[in-house]
Amino acid sequence: MDKTLYDLSKRGIDFLGCEHSIMAGAMSWISENNLVSAVCNAGAFGVIAAGAMPAELLEKEIQKCKEKTNKNFGVNLIVMHPDLDSLIDVCIKNRVSHVILAGGIPMSLHIEKLKNNNIKTVAFAPNLTVAKRLMKNGIDALIIEGFEAGGHIGQVSTCVLAQEILPQIKDVPVFVAGGIGRGDAMASFLLQGASGIQMGTKFVCTEECIAHENFKNSFLRASARDAVSTIQVDPDFRIIPVRALYNKGSYEFIKFQNQTISEFKEGKISKEAAQLKIEHYWAGALKRAVIDGDVEYGSLMAGQSVGMCDKILSTKDLLIEFIKEAEYFLNKY
């Protein structure tokens, strides 16, 4: 193999400003200052999950992270957040190096505002058409995430997205995500033209992750087939699919959908109210699992790479192992 791991990763390394072209995916309640700073100090790129945070809380989280690392890190902002402009202002004020815009297609004015303040922008592309639209709007880099990922997911596998997008997009760095749990997978995507990868699930099983012991142990016991997408029981009541470990809460969600839809059909509530009840069902369920340790009824969001979580490591040791796997894969060729 003529090119080293560094050679193949250099574009991503230069874009992120870190040692390894590995982004730690933003996971609500998990990707906070402790884990993010640990990832950065170990040579990868951590990302704070802003989620539904108000601006004041996000600012405190950024400041705590800066106290623990002098490395670059990113902030993941949900584009549908009602106070997105204020969150962007917080990132600008606190000189965050990168902002990842998730949960929809970001407006060009938000991309432009961030870039005008020397913040690099990243967005998710679920297909080639959206990727080209984001580039036209001025995005600096893309993440393509397959449905193997944990949390909210799209409809296409990582393998197919990589084949569809990597040969076509050359003007901006592209990071591949979804189901990545070993370094040899990273190496294979780099060979296909990726600039780096994003990985989330395996960072849950690190010493620095604040997730409850019950939550981590659920990951250690799980196989890939245990991480399933939520089931939609009625095509007239769409849900945003979420991949998580199946538990009693998953079964209760199916029952809740049926009960709520029955209320609508009986004329007790409007369709809009029923849809809202279904959408809000999981509100707080992830926190119950991650923070409180309720692994029976809380939401155990996990990607299919959970089957490769077999031990708790320090973030540093996890990355050392991951890089060794990638280098071994490349040296074989």
**Average pLDDT score over residue span 203-209:** 98
- Per cent of the chain over pLDDT 90 is 90
pLDDT confidence of residue 243? 95
- Tokens representing 129? 């058409």
pLDDT confidence of residue 1? 55
pLDDT confidence of residue 13? 98
Summarised one tens digit per residue, pLDDT across range 19-48 is 999 999 999 999 999 999 999 999 999 999
Measured in whole angstroms, how far is the alpha carbon of residue 139 from the centre of its chain? Answer: 18
Q: What is the largest CA-CA distance in the chain?
A: 68
Question: What are the angstrom distances between the C-alpha of 286 and each of 24, 40, 173, 240, 304?
Answer: 18, 25, 31, 15, 17
With cut-offs at 50, 70 and 90, classify the pLDDT of residue 96: very high
Question: What are the angstrom distances between the C-alpha of 79 and each of 52, 119, 203?
Answer: 11, 16, 24
pLDDT confidence of residue 90? 98
**Average pLDDT score over residue span 214-224:** 98
Q: CA 176, CA 194: separation in Å to the nearest integer?
A: 7
- Per cent of the chain over pLDDT 70 is 100
**Average pLDDT score over residue span 251-262:** 93
**Average pLDDT score over residue span 263-291:** 90
Q: CA 89, CA 104: separation in Å to the nearest integer?
A: 19
Q: Spell out the alpha helix ranges (H) of 119-157.
A: 128-136
**Average pLDDT score over residue span 281-297:** 92
Question: What are the angstrom distances between the C-alpha of 272 and each of 152, 165, 254, 258, 299?
Answer: 22, 36, 18, 15, 24
Considering the entire predicted model, what is its pTM?
0.95
Query: Is the pLDDT score of 182 beyond 80?
Result: yes
Summarised one tens digit per residue, pLDDT across range 123-179 is 999 999 999 999 999 999 999 999 999 998 988 999 999 999 999 999 999 999 999
- CB 326 within 8 Å of CB 186: yes
Residue 299's nearest CA partner among 312, 315, 287 is 287
Question: What are the angstrom distances between the C-alpha of 194 and each of 11, 29, 154, 157?
Answer: 9, 28, 19, 16
Domains and CATH numbers, the chain: 5-211+310-331 (3.20.20.70), 223-301 (no CATH)
**Average pLDDT score over residue span 186-205:** 98
Q: CA 138, CA 228: separation in Å to the nearest integer?
A: 35
- 73 in helix, strand or coil? coil
pLDDT confidence of residue 53? 94
pLDDT confidence of residue 238? 84
Summarised one tens digit per residue, pLDDT across range 298-313 is 999 999 999 999 999 9
Name the residue with tokens 């973030």.
Answer: 315
Residue 50's nearest CA partner among 91, 105, 111, 104 is 91
- Tokens representing 120? 């690099």
Q: Which helix (H) or strand (E) holds 41?
A: helix 33-41
**Average pLDDT score over residue span 172-198:** 98
The CA dihedral of 208, 323, 47, 113, to the nearest 10 degrees, is 160
The average confidence (pLDDT) of the chain is 95
Q: CA 229, CA 85: separation in Å to the nearest integer?
A: 32
Residue 49's nearest CA partner among 193, 152, 171 is 152
Is pLDDT larger for residue 205 or for residue 2?
A: 205
**Distance between the two ends of the chain, CA-based, in angstroms?**
5
- Tokens representing 78? 């949900």
- Tokens representing 197? 């990868």
pLDDT confidence of residue 210? 98
Query: Is the pLDDT score of 60 beyond 90?
Result: yes
Q: Give φ, ψ of 61 to 5 degrees.
A: -65, -45
How many Cβ atoms sit within 10 Å of the Cβ of residue 272?
9
pLDDT confidence of residue 186? 98
pLDDT confidence of residue 283? 74
- CB 301 within 8 Å of CB 227: no
Range in 99-113, 153-167, 186-200, 233-247 the model is least confident about: 233-247
Helix then strand count (H, E) for the chain reads 14, 11
